[in-house]
Structure 1
Amino acid sequence: MPSKRSAESAPDNRPTEPPAKKRKGFSVGPANLPDGTYRRKTQKIKTDLIQKAKVKKAYAKIKAEESVSAPRKSVYEKDEEREDGQSDQETSTEIHPERMAMLNEPAPEPEPEARLEQRRPREREDRKKERRPKRSAFTKEIEIAEQRRMAAEKREREREAKQKEREAMARAKRPDQFGKRRLGRESSALLSRVQRMVGQ
């Protein structure tokens, strides 16, 4: 026969409070960081957050105490204050006689030096607005390349001119149908050659 359970081991049918859960603290960053810069930084962030939370809590507590201790104003008192404030504003819109006299006086014209000083900052601002084109890092190289290109073009033109002169001279030296030299053509070819040489 099985043994009976004792009264102590018998389950309680009375409602019991659930065991209080342990509150976990919050974590910042991964938990398995090695000791070093990143771990110290996360710890610093955590302490800062805790400090701010404590300050907020203390502030809320002080504010609550002040609101409780401060005497409450009735609705009628608030209405009276509003009416007083409006009447003060209505009376304060009047301008003082001395101020009125100052406003009515014509403004003195600034001296020429002061005018120049006023213009100078504007001129400086205008200069700042006008951006100068940024100088290229390769301007010297670009200039050299341009000079080389122009020299090559000049040589090419001279070569073509010499070739034309040679062809013209060869044509001029051919005898005509009667076997005589064409002196007119030869002279024009020689003249163009001399002009080119003098032009250089």
Structure 2
Amino acid sequence: MEAKKQIAFVEYFENEWLNSHNTWYENIQHFTPSTNDGLESFNKIIKDEDTYRERIPLSRFRIITFETVKQWSSQYKHKLKQYIQTPSITLDIWTKGYQWAKSDKSVISMNHGYTVEYYAPADDEFKISNNDIDTINTMKWNTFDQYRKRAFNVWYIKMQNDPTNWMKGICNCPAFFKCYVCKHVAGVSIRLKFCKPPPAAKDIPIGHKRKRG
């Protein structure tokens, strides 16, 4: 009975969330905040600037909500507030990107004219095979353990051939999903001479991490 329930759930999940509604996962739309991150950022603003962290009746909160939305609309309309179009790169990311660029990791590239795909080994590996790339592109795994081992074995970086747009590069690593920039995008761009890291990024010896603070 338990086995039948598991099979039924897998069939339901595949039909409903892989075949019918397959755009539900994190980072389906690049360079846009995830729902949770977006709500949390606005939640802090509402508490700090509008309700002042007071517990107020629902009727009063409704009035404040309409006033807040009207105020935000006016601020964005008159450029008093602006949407961030490109991610900011911290010194820590620059440092990690520079060290990654200077490492001995072998990167396989595939040119598609306007864009180029780069495949790089993850963790402590230095080389990957065409079979590893094929596994990532075709998503060849039948169990969760296979997914855990194979899906994070190769990092996929996609860049435009235009050096001025290197910050629009994307990667499939977890760090990119959070910040929309990562050491792999920065590292590939450094190798291609699309950008130059700040001098401070080179202060840390290769193989060492920058201390927090």
TM-score normalised by length of structure 1: 0.17
Hey, which of these two has a bigger chunk of strand by percent?
A: 2
Relative contact order, CA 8 A, sep 6+: which one is greater?
2
Hey, which of these two has a bigger chunk of helix by percent?
A: 1
TM-score normalised by length of structure 2: 0.16
Quick check: which has more Rg, 1 or 2?
1
